[in-house]
Amino acid sequence: MSRQTKTRRLQQRQHKYRYVDRGFILLLLTVFQLFSAVPVVFEGGSFYWQNGAQFLGYIAFEWLYVAVMHYGFKKVNFELEFIAFFLCGIGMTLGASVSKASQLKQLCAIVLGVIVYDLLLWFLKDVRRVMQVRLPLAVLSLLGLAGSFVLIRFSVGAINGAYNWIVIGNGLFSIQPSEFVKIAFVFVGAATLDKLLTAKNIYLYIAYSIGCIGVLFLMKDFGTALIFFFTFLIIAFMRSGDVRSLLFVSVAAAVGAVLVIYFKPHVAARFAVYRHVWENVDTTGYQQVRTLIYSVSGGLQGLGIGNGRLRYIAASTTDLIFGVICEECGILLAFAIALTFALIALYAVKCARTAPSSFYAIAACAAAALLLFQTGLNIFGITDLLPLTGVTLPFLSQGGSSMICCWALFAFIKASDIRAYPKQFKSAVSGGALA
């Protein structure tokens, strides 16, 4: 048997196994989502057919997406998509169990997120195209963030103490501009530092980072500002590897934060409850105390969807969603979800090692670190291990802006995987580049 024949048969077997794996995983995902949807569709002896139809539509969308991407665009790997579908399904189910009317809005956000994911993945295919738009995107994102602050400051006003929400149609829709700037922040940072690290490059990116973080401080969106700063450190370290410089930047930022707290006491007041929630059970520590109590009441397997009490606390499907998962779905599932984000980071690091360009490596690690850090802020914040910053739990918290942003960040990670672009992957395999 010739070598070409052996290679062809090996590829056929690999294709067959990939098909079986995809189908099996989709089947497991479908069974899990149908099982989870039953308490929502059949609640209190009533049949909510609209919600049932929306769940079936979401499942059909998953199957259709994988089929179109595989047979139409020759995609061979769907690890990230399956993870995102799994997390989105849990978030949509818990959101619908609290508010039936919110399910359609969240479903639309997921579909929009997938569309943005694929469009961005297509755009990232050409690094030269990426380099051409990095400067305009930096300017537009910074001006957009500053402009939205001015608009919110003098029209909508503060919501929950922060100027970070644009409300449309008497509260029917709301947009959080800082979520979209996260995408630009990773894009601009990775593209700017992709080439040789020059003084001009790093000064420009530092100026851009300071501008974004400064506006976020004015908006009193301290959680997002912290996420941006952490992402900046990751991007800078990925390109330079200079730990001493990053430590200097971190110390300077810490000094700046202390000065802000000293001259702006109202900023410190927002974090005064940290480590003192049990002393403020019915006031500023109300949400966190209830989260701590109700989270452990679910045990390992949970009380069942719809049977928890944390759902009746404000922000249960946004900031406190992890506590709802612990109470109603069990600590085992909650732990698995937290572990999933750590595995995403490991996946990004693995893909970065064989990425065709340093842009892909920097962007993937920055996006994964951003998601992991935001997850940590959410989980440790509601459990009082860190100050409560009000950031969402990626893919799980209700919110269209957050959902679209999370899918877009996944595009950066996926683009670093050489299998994301079938033609290049096939050329690399045939040329022995991946041997």
Token pair listed for 409 = 């960040």
Domain boundary assignment for the chain: 3-430
Amino acid sitting at position 178: S
CB within 8 A of 420, min separation 6: which ones? 75, 77, 121, 414
Instruction: Provide the pLDDT for residue 408.
Output: 97
Over residues 351-377, the mean pLDDT reads: 92
Q: Report pLDDT digits (tens) over 40-72.
A: 999 988 999 999 999 999 999 999 999 999 889
Over residues 277-304, the mean pLDDT reads: 90
Q: Residue 198 — very low, low, confident or very high, per pLDDT cuts 50/70/90?
A: low
Q: Residue 258 — very low, low, confident or very high, per pLDDT cuts 50/70/90?
A: low
Rounded-to-integer distance, Cα 316 and Cα 96, Å: 12
Over residues 171-175, the mean pLDDT reads: 73
The H or E element that residue 166 is part of is: strand 166-168
Q: Is 142 helix (H, G, I), strand (E, B) or coil?
A: helix
The phi and psi torsions of 166 (rounded to 5 degrees) equal: -100, 115
- The radius of gyration computed from the CA coordinates of the chain, to the nearest angstrom, equals 23
DSSP letter, residue 162: B
With 60 as the cut, is the pLDDT of residue 8 above it? Answer: no
CB within 8 A of 398, min separation 6: which ones? 91, 95, 102, 106, 317, 318, 321
Point out which residues pair with 174 in neighbouring strands: 167
Q: Residue 191 — very low, low, confident or very high, per pLDDT cuts 50/70/90?
A: confident
- In the predicted model, what is the mean pLDDT of the chain? 85
Instruction: Provide the pLDDT for residue 229.
Output: 87
Least confident of 187-196, 284-293, 333-342, 390-399: 187-196
Instruction: Provide the pLDDT for residue 433.
Output: 47
Stated length of the chain: 435
With 80 as the cut, is the pLDDT of residue 256 above it? Answer: no
Cβ-in-10-Å burial (0-12, 13-18, 19+) of 45 comes to exposed
Residue with tokens 């100026």: 207
Over residues 132-150, the mean pLDDT reads: 92
Task: Classify 333 in phi/psi space as left (phi over 0), alpha (psi -120 to 50) or beta.
Answer: alpha
Segments of 17-123 assigned E as strands: 42-43, 46-47
Query: Among candidates 406, 327, 402, 287, which has minimal Cα distance to 97?
Result: 327
Contact 91, 385 (CB under 8 A): no
Rounded-to-integer distance, Cα 270 and Cα 266, Å: 7
pTM of the model: 0.90
With 70 as the cut, is the pLDDT of residue 349 above it? Answer: yes
Contact 268, 261 (CB under 8 A): yes
Over residues 350-364, the mean pLDDT reads: 90
Contact 94, 325 (CB under 8 A): yes
168-175 long-range contacts, CB within 8 A, separation 24+: 173/400, 174/401, 175/400, 175/401
Rounded-to-integer distance, Cα 188 and Cα 205, Å: 8
With 80 as the cut, is the pLDDT of residue 12 above it? Answer: no
Q: Residue 280 — very low, low, confident or very high, per pLDDT cuts 50/70/90?
A: confident
Buried b (16+ CB within 10 A) or exposed e, 413-428: bbbbbbbbbeeebeeb
Rounded-to-integer distance, Cα 352 and Cα 183, Å: 18
Q: Report pLDDT digits (tens) over 80-135.
A: 999 999 999 999 999 999 999 899 999 999 999 999 999 999 999 998 899 899 98
Residue with tokens 């050489």: 418
Instruction: Provide the pLDDT for residue 324.
Output: 96
